[in-house]
Amino acid sequence: MSTRKKVMWWIGGAIIVVYALFPIAWIISISLKAPSDIANGQFLPSSISWGNYETVLTGSASELFLPALRNSFGICLIATAISCLLAMFAAYAIARLDFPGKKVILSTALAVAIFPVISIVTPLFNVWRQIGLYDTWPGLILPYLSLTLPISIWTMSAFFREIPWEMEQAAQVDGATTWQAFRKVIVPLAAPGVFTTAIIAFFIAWNDFVYGIVLTSTEAARPVPAALGLFSGASQFEDPTGAIAAAALIVTIPVVVLVLLFQRRIVAGLTNGAVKG
């Protein structure tokens, strides 16, 4: 690459990074502004104030926010775990076995994934109230599975397909049962795929707003995105903008931590050297 080209790439990259990160910088700045400072028309706060964080974590909004944080973590982790486990088996079958209806399963999964959430949420609200799932953890875990399972099945079956079948056959010849071959050879090889899928599934569940606001009413199950919408200012003349920004920033942290933590696992290339390279 010539120097000129390199410079162009750098400039292009910088523009994209600024474009993508500017809203985040903005929200950081808002979260650090005192209420009187929010509408001052400047990007940076005139003086850094931690008041918003205090409001969210210990102050008036903490009753709303902290249980919601706990709910969000619990519900999303459970939904992710279940969907990963189910998707692992489903994807393995889709990638390895030849059975009638394979295409149907994949296209149904796709159909479910693209089905607009808003159109089923009202009937679901009624059904949930009838059968007692309204405002409970399982009442959110179930719809979250419908969001995360299709994408998990699709990504994982792509990963499974990349694992050479000989691996598994070699294990069987070496004396492994189908289950042992799956557990000792396929799963470790698919680990990057499983982690990637888990993170994607977790984000999808974590970011959901529609189910969260419709299917819950109290702090028993209300997740963070729904709770953020219910924040109110200190008085009715005051917008809770600063508190929302602080809370939004706090809920972004687990996502960032997750990516940093599993970054290395996500990086594919573990299968390099399995076969002649």
Q: Select 107 or 169, whichever has its Cβ closest to another protein.
A: 169
Nearest approach in angstroms of CB 268 to another protein is: 12
Query: Alpha-carbon torsion 226, 231, 236, 242, what sign?
Result: negative
Whole-number Å distance between alpha carbons of 111 and 104: 10
> CB under 8 Å, gap of 24 or more: what pairs does 77-80 form?
77/202, 78/137, 78/141, 79/140, 79/141, 79/144, 79/145, 79/148, 79/201, 79/205, 80/148, 80/198, 80/201, 80/202, 80/205
Q: Inter-axis angle of helices 187-207 and 241-266, to 10 degrees?
A: 170
Nearest approach in angstroms of CB 189 to another protein is: 6
Residue type, 168: E
Q: Select 41 or 269, whichever has its Cβ closest to another protein.
A: 269
Binding residues vs another protein (CB under 8 A) = 164, 166-167, 169-177, 180, 185, 188-189, 191, 270-277
Q: Select 42 or 180, whichever has its Cβ closest to another protein.
A: 180
Nearest approach in angstroms of CB 183 to another protein is: 11
Nearest approach in angstroms of CB 90 to another protein is: 23
Q: Select 6 or 183, whichever has its Cβ closest to another protein.
A: 183
Q: Does residue 39 sit in helix, strand or coil?
A: coil
Q: Select 132 or 188, whichever has its Cβ closest to another protein.
A: 188
Residue type, 223: P
Nearest approach in angstroms of CB 261 to another protein is: 20
